[in-house]
Amino acid sequence: MQEACCPELSSILEISDVQMHFGGIVALKGIRYAVPPGIIQALIGPNGAGKTTLFHCISGLIQPTFGHVLFEGRQIDGMLPHKIARLGISRTFQHVALFKSMTVLENIMLGRHPKTKSGFWATGLRLPAMRREERKILETARYHLDFVGLGDSANLPAGTLPLGKQRILEIARALATDPRLLLLDEPAGGLNIRETEVLGDLIQRIRACGVTVILVEHDMNLVMEIADRILVLHYGSQLASGTPMEIMDHPAVIEAYLGGG
Amino acid sequence: MNKKDRWAFVGMGLLIAVFPGVALNVKCISHYVDVMVFAGIFSLVSLGLCMLMGYAGQVSMAQAAFFGIGAYSSGILTSRLGWNPWMAMPAGAGVAALVAWIIGVPALRLKGHYLAMATLGFGVIVHIILGEEVKWTGGPSGMVDIPGLQIAGWKLTSEVAWYYMIWSVVFMALLFCLHVIYSRVGRGLRAIHEEEMAAESMGVPTACYKVQIFVFSAILSAIAGSFYTHYVTCLNPGSFNLMWSIRFVLMVMVGGTQSLWGAILGAVLLTFAGNEWLQIFSDFEILVYGAMLLCAALFLPGGLASLVPKVIGVFRNSLTHLCKR
Ligand SMILES: Nc1ncnc2c1ncn2[C@@H]1O[C@H](COP(=O)(O)OP(=O)(O)OP(=O)(O)O)[C@@H](O)[C@H]1O
Ligand SMILES: [Mg+2]
């Protein structure tokens, strides 16, 4: 599914001194962090810590006020989101952002956008190359549909799915872009225990395909179970980082999480 | 194209095909064929505008101006410079496309409804130019003696010939639009309409798509304008003012912004309304349009097209009821 990432690179994503100011609010106060390739990197922190803001900075939806974001050694801050998607970063949204009136399959087919190129005139005229490409899009979308286990909902409007399946569908749509880095923003939000287990399993299968995953999540059981490394944000600053074991025993983290209420 | 569209396509094709046969045999509606030629011409405009409003989520208040660019390009190139009408048509469309691109690129880069404002200004400018450039456009008195159309040496003189020609063009344009909608690009457009940020993050170049659709809508309008010119064979700038742009927007809204079928339905309905049924209101016509716009927005946000499945449903229910009895 993936092209091999440049082996000499020790980090797939490098965040260097990223600051984000919203008027007077400083949502990110200079984040400096590198994500090694091929792992599940958890990003945790209390509400308002700046996790989603950091995702927006990486995926290009907002421009960091200061600092840079490097993906596979290439500077991506300042690029438009669709260009970043083409480079191999995809994401999901904290508040599910599916195309609700499109079918489940169409949602995943849309995810093939960065990897296909038929233009307006080619599609209107149904040129042969476009038809071939359309068949391939369908084929790949079905593969991803089965990969996440939504095969039986293919032709339902995405908006009619229960929340659990919507979150899974968002992941499938993101996978369809063939990302090398996948950003998941609270994928377990609103899911029950059983669904969360399935999700955890899916995320591990995604890592097994060679995709680096950054996971924002409040469900600590899930994080501790599947994350390889954890970065803790607190009011826009880095509080701690390390393996799940290290983080669990980290005094500052215990203070922030338990001391704060 | 899905199954429903295929059926609608066949159904509408049949309706359009038999219409002149019926209309010409009933005295009081025999001139409806002529009205339907205009309806077909305006359908081309509303199809393009529907793609823009319903799928790219933008409004243009300059469709009449693009229509005018097409109309006057054809008029000037054929009657003043002796061009073949079939050559003048793409030339006019090319000019409209270029202008739309120049307006669209800066206006659509920005979020929000800058396009509506930019096109509003542009529409006014075009209208003034058409009225002032007396040497080329004939100014306020317009142009006369524009040649008609010929297909393979055969002159299109009768209304029926025009009717079938223009509706064939409408069907081709509709087919083109449907193909776009049910493809990679169309999925991108629908995605923009529903969740723009998500679409952009999944690799859809949103600004670029909006510009393309806007250019496309301008091209369709200009082509419609060319047909109009060669059908009526005379021009005056009054047909290309803001009022007409509003009428085109209204066609799409009455029909249903998210439905290409609705766009055609709206064009037909409003053409009949304008040419036939609302003549008695004369100067108050604009009031009637205002009221229609208000009603469409308040009571029928999905447009007339949204009624069709409901009507079919009721029809089916009553049919099964009857059968059971
Ligand atoms: N567009 C914006 N304008 C102004 N302030 C913003 C904006 N986006 C985020 N913020 C602020 O930035 C801070 C970080 O928000 P962010 O959404 O990144 O937090 P989060 O860690 O994702 O929280 P949660 O766990 O609740 O999702 C908050 O104080 C928020 O109010
Ligand atoms: Mg968040």
**Would you call A119 an interface residue with chain B, using a CB distance cutoff of 8 Å?**
yes
Position A130, amino acid: M
CA of A54 to the centre of ligand 1 (A): 9
In degrees and rounded to multiples of 5, residue A156 shows phi and psi of -85, 145
Indicate which ligand has the atom closest to the C-alpha of A26: 1
For the beta sheet containing A13-22, the strands, ordered from the edge strand earlier in sequence to the opposite edge, are A25-35, A13-22, A66-71, A74-75
- Answer whether B188's CB lies under 8 Å from A113's CB: yes
What band does A54 get if pLDDT is binned at 50, 70 and 90? very high
Look at A82 and B205 and tell me if their CB atoms are within 8 Å.
Answer: yes
By C-alpha distance, which of A119, A75, A139 is closest to B186? A119
3-state secondary structure of B103: helix
What band does B116 get if pLDDT is binned at 50, 70 and 90? confident
Q: Model ipTM?
A: 0.90
Based on the structure, what is the number of domains in chain B? 1
What band does B281 get if pLDDT is binned at 50, 70 and 90? low
- How many angstroms separate the CA atoms of B264 and B304, rounded? 11
For residue A110, the chain B residues in CB contact (below 8 A) are 187-188, 191, 199, 202, 204
Look at A99 and B200 and tell me if their CB atoms are within 8 Å.
Answer: no
**Residue A72 pLDDT greater than 50, yes or no:** yes
Please give the radius of gyration of chain A, using alpha carbons only, rounded to the nearest integer: 19
- How many angstroms separate the CA atoms of B43 and B177, rounded? 12
| Residue recorded with tokens 């409004």 | B59
3-class SS letters over B17-82: HHHHHHHCCCHHHCCHHHHHHHHHHHHHHHHHHHHHHHHCCCCCCCHHHHHHHHHHHHHHHHHHCC
For residue A82, the chain B residues in CB contact (below 8 A) are 200-206
Per-residue confidence (pLDDT) for residue A150, from 0 to 100? 92
Tell me what the pLDDT averaged over chain B comes to: 84
Using CA of residue B179, residue B182, residue B183, residue B189, what is the dihedral sign?
A: positive
3-state secondary structure of A21: strand
CATH number reported for the structural domain that contains residue B280 in this entry: 1.10.3470
- Of A9-18, A64-73, B155-164, B185-194, the one with minimum mean pLDDT is B155-164
A94 lines ligand 1 (CB under 6 A): yes
Both tokens of A163, joined, read: 């929340």
Position B209, amino acid: Y
Of all residues in chain A, what percent carry a pLDDT higher than 90?
A: 75
CA of A62 to the centre of ligand 1 (A): 12
| Residue recorded with tokens 């005094």 | A251
- Answer whether A69's CB lies under 8 Å from A14's CB: yes
What would the pLDDT profile of A212-233 be if each residue is shown by its tens digit?
999 999 998 999 999 999 999 9
Of all residues in chain B, what percent carry a pLDDT higher than 90?
A: 31
What would the pLDDT profile of B124-160 be if each residue is shown by its tens digit?
888 888 777 777 777 777 777 777 777 777 777 788 8
Indicate which ligand has the atom closest to the C-alpha of A231: 1
Which of A188-194's residues contact partners 24+ apart within 8 Å by CB, and which partners? A188/A217, A188/A218, A188/A219, A188/A222, A189/A94, A189/A218, A190/A163, A190/A164, A191/A163, A191/A164, A191/A167, A192/A164
Locate the chain A residue with the closest alpha carbon to B109: A80
Both tokens of A206, joined, read: 């995604």
pTM of the predicted model as reported, rounded to 2 decimal places: 0.88
What would the pLDDT profile of B68-87 be if each residue is shown by its tens digit?
999 989 888 888 788 888 88
Question: Mean per-residue pLDDT for A155-163?
Answer: 93
**Residue B27 pLDDT greater than 80, yes or no:** no
Domain ranges (residues) in chain A: 98-178
Q: Which position has the higher pLDDT, B280 or B142?
A: B142
**Residue B184 pLDDT greater than 70, yes or no:** yes
Return the beta strands (E) in B120-245 as ranges: 150-151, 154-155
Q: What is the domain extent for residue B18? A: 3-324
H-only helix segments in chain A: 51-59, 81-87, 104-110, 120-124, 128-148, 163-175, 193-208, 220-226, 244-248, 251-254
For residue A91, the chain B residues in CB contact (below 8 A) are 201
Question: Mean per-residue pLDDT for B89-96?
Answer: 92
CA of A51 to the centre of ligand 2 (A): 5
Tell me what the pLDDT averaged over chain A comes to: 90
- Which residues are CB-neighbours of B38 under 8 A, at least 6 positions away? B228, B231, B271, B275
